Amino acid sequence: MNLRVLGCGGGEQSGRRLTSFLLNGCVLLDAGAATGALLLEEQARIRAVLLSHSHLDHVVGLAFLADNLAVNSHQPPVPIFSIPEVLDILREHLFNDLLWPDFTRLPSRDRPVFQLSPLQQGAEASVEGLAVTAIPVDHTLPAVGYLIRDQKSAILYTGDTGPTEKLWAVARECQDLKAVIVETSFPDRLEKLAKQSGHLTPGMLKTELAKLSREVPVLITHLKPPFVVEIQKEIAAAKGNLVLLEDGQQYSF
């Protein structure tokens, strides 16, 4: 499995893109940087999207991706996979012909750019050769993380989450787990804000990783731009196999 970091910021500034990853060159895992990091020909190769939740920093790239893909009338609709609650929010608040054109019906009802495809929590689904399981996490609105596997390995993606349980329970049972991609949005001094907003700090991350009960590489994402230096220092002082992701990196599992 190949993972390309399109963006790993918990906010946007010059040189830091919003959260988005590309799996095997054709599956978007969240879509904050879906267009800002990809050439047009790379965007045209996208065959599926996995969304963890509906917050703007994870979905905004869908709007501009739709614009770019709409000219490819020969391409079948790209399925956007997530739990029904997330897809309902997209339908009502993004693709509604008010905030943005409804690209689930454009350029035509028979061949739209996107197709909203619901996932059942806890049930494995096949997405472009990957086995994908949506797992509930604790955020401020309906959200999931994902266990994603191919024939050789598995990775765990938390999306945005505060302290949670089910995700780690699933991870403990996964024998071929090769990496965990986990958010850490705020420094330890802002633990109260992190809990209120459904996020983690380095100290809270340590507690969460203890629930995994095993050593795997931990790839840290979603740092809020005003606190990057603070979080980097706190992660550097922590023990364990912790790696701070950077835009443009690639990993093979």
| Residue spans of the chain under pLDDT 70 | 73
Would you list the domain boundaries of the chain?
2-252
48 touches 71 (CB < 8 A) = no
Pick the CATH number of 2-252 from 3.60.15.10, 3.40.50.1110, 3.90.226.10, 2.40.33.10: 3.60.15.10
Distance CA 115, CA 201 (A): 35
- The whole-number pLDDT of residue 39 equals 98
What pLDDT shows up at residue 239? 80
Cα separation, 153 vs 149, in Å, equals 6
Structure tokens at 22: 């590309």
Question: What separation, in Å, do the N-terminal and C-terminal C-alpha atoms of the chain show?
Answer: 5
> Cβ distance 19 to 28 under 8 Å?
no
pLDDT for res 75: 85
**Which pLDDT score, from 0 to 100, does residue 194 have?**
98
Q: Where are the beta strands (DSSP E) in the chain?
A: 2-7, 20-23, 27-31, 48-50, 78-82, 114-118, 124-127, 130-136, 144-149, 154-157, 177-183, 218-221, 242-244, 250-252
Measured CA distances, 189 to 10, 48, 80, 203, 240 (Å): 17, 38, 37, 10, 21
Cα dist from 130 to 34, 126, 146, 154, whole Å = 20, 6, 11, 9
Pairing assessment for the beta strands 124-127 and 130-136 based on DSSP bridges: antiparallel
Q: pTM to 2 decimals?
A: 0.97
* Residue in the structure block whose two tokens are 């095997």: 24
